[in-house]
């Protein structure tokens, strides 16, 4: 799935308050709960599966990007939330640099190919330096969402 298909502007947090990856994951999952994308009573179980995946290896892939993700049987469609931190989040990244852009996504259990394709599409999109700079300098969630959709459809 493409990033524009997963997100809506109300699933973007233009200024994360988190200072580390665990707080960022909790903040983004909380945002998915408040937007109705995941049920409140599933919050802890979903956070646990994302954090278990993150414990196996950081999804801070470098270049200021973090892509925490997991599969769970508690959702029926791919969903996710995007956050930006202007000050940077300690994500234990591969390049030891803070993360400014965090895309958390969830895929229904058993959809391995969709999981891999979604991860690859997001990583490829966010590896574009000009695109990252556009997201980092966008004034608000609406401008960020517009940039994501324009970049996604340009591919």
Secondary element (H or E) of residue 79: strand 79-89
Distance CA 96, CA 92 (A): 6
Identify whether the C-beta of residue 80 lies closer than 8 Å to the C-beta of residue 103: yes
Q: Which among 31, 69, 76, 115 is annotated as catalytic?
A: 69
Q: Which residues contact 79 (CB under 8 A, 6 or more apart)?
A: 6, 32, 37, 38, 105, 106
Structure tokens at 56: 């196996």
- Residue (of 102, 27, 14) closest to 64 by Cα position: 102
Assess whether 117 carries a catalytic annotation. no
Site of tokens 């391995």: 112
What positions carry a catalytic annotation? 69
């Amino acid at each position: 799935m493409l990033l524009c298909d997963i997100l809506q502007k109300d699933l973007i947090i233009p200024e994360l308050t988190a200072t580390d990856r665990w707080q960022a994951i909790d903040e983004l999952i909380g945002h998915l709960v408040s937007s109705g994308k995941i049920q409140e009573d599933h919050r802890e179980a979903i956070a646990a599966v994302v954090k278990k995946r993150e414990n196996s290896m950081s999804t801070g892939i470098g270049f200021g990007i973090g892509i925490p993700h997991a599969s769970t049987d508690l959702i029926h469609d791919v969903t996710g939330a995007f956050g930006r931190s202007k000050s940077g989040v300690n994500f234990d990244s591969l390049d030891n640099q803070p993360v400014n852009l965090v895309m958390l996504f969830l895929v229904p259990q058993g959809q391995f190919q969709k999981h891999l394709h979604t991860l690859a599409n997001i990583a490829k999109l966010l590896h574009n330096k000009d695109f990252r700079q556009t997201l980092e300098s966008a004034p608000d969630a609406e401008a960020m969402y517009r940039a994501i959709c324009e970049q996604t459809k340009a591919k």
